[in-house]
Amino acid sequence: MSRDEPMASDEPMANPARTGRPPTIYDIAQKVGLNPSTVSRALNRPGRTNASTEERIRAAAAELGYRVNPMARALPTGLTGTFAIVLPDITNPVHFELIRGAEQVARANGYTLIISETEGLAEIERETIQTLQSSVDGLLVVASRLDDDSLATLSWVKPIVAANHAAPSLPSVIPDLAMGLTAAMDHLHDLGHRSVAYLGLSGVQINRPRWDLALDLAAARDISAVEIALDAPTVEAGAAALRRVRASGVTAVLAYNDLVAHGLLRAARAEGLHLPDDLSVIGFDDIFSAELAVPALTTLRSPLREIGTRAMQTVIDADRNRAASKVVLPLELVVRESTARVSR
Q: Which residues sit opposite 141 in a β-bridge? A: 86, 162
Exposed, middle or buried by CB within 10 Å (0-12, 13-18, 19+), for 45?
A: middle
Give the CA radius of gyration of the chain: 25
**pLDDT exceeds cutoff 80 at 141:** yes
Mean pLDDT, all residues of the chain? 89
- Phi and psi (nearest 5°) for 141? -110, 120
Angle CA(156)–CA(161)–CA(163) in degrees, nearest 5? 150
* Mean pLDDT, residues 206-225: 95
**Structure confidence at residue 66 (pLDDT):** 81
Please enumerate in sequence order all residues whose Cβ is within 8 A of that of 78, keeping only pairs 6 or more positions apart, or say none: none
Please enumerate in sequence order all residues whose Cβ is within 8 A of that of 131, keeping only pairs 6 or more positions apart, or say none: none
- Phi and psi (nearest 5°) for 26? -70, -35
Share of the chain above pLDDT 90, in %: 71
**Structure confidence at residue 54 (pLDDT):** 86
Name the band, by pLDDT with cuts 50, 70 and 90, for residue 27. Answer: confident
**pLDDT exceeds cutoff 50 at 8:** no
CA distance 50 to 299: 43
- Same fold for the domain at 79-175+305-329 and the one at 177-302? yes
Name the band, by pLDDT with cuts 50, 70 and 90, for residue 71. Answer: low
**Structure confidence at residue 45 (pLDDT):** 67
**Structure confidence at residue 115 (pLDDT):** 96
Instruction: Name the residue ranges covered by the structural domains of the chain.
Output: 1-65, 79-175+305-329, 177-302
**Structure confidence at residue 254 (pLDDT):** 98
Three-state secondary structure readout of 271-330: CCCCCCCCCEEEEEECCCCHHHCCCCCEEEECCHHHHHHHHHHHHCCCCCCCCCEEEEEC
CA distance 227 to 250: 11
**Domain covering 177-302, topology:** Rossmann fold (3.40.50)
Q: Kindly indicate whether the domain formed by 1-65 is annotated with CATH number 1.10.1060.
A: no
CA distance 322 to 315: 8
Cβ atoms 223, 251 nearer than 8 A: no
**pLDDT exceeds cutoff 90 at 243:** yes
Name the band, by pLDDT with cuts 50, 70 and 90, for residue 19. Answer: low
Q: What is the pLDDT of residues 245-275, one digit of tens each?
A: 999 999 999 999 999 999 999 999 999 999 9
**Structure confidence at residue 76 (pLDDT):** 54
Name the more confident of 91 and 217: 217
Least confident of 46-50, 69-73, 229-233: 69-73
**Structure confidence at residue 143 (pLDDT):** 93
**Structure confidence at residue 182 (pLDDT):** 98
Cβ atoms 245, 239 nearer than 8 A: no
Question: Which residue type is seen at 4?
Answer: D
Question: Which residue type is seen at 144?
Answer: S
Q: What is the pLDDT of residues 273-314, one digit of tens each?
A: 999 999 999 999 999 999 999 999 999 999 999 999 999 999
DSSP letter assigned to residue 92: -
**Domain covering 79-175+305-329, topology:** Rossmann fold (3.40.50)
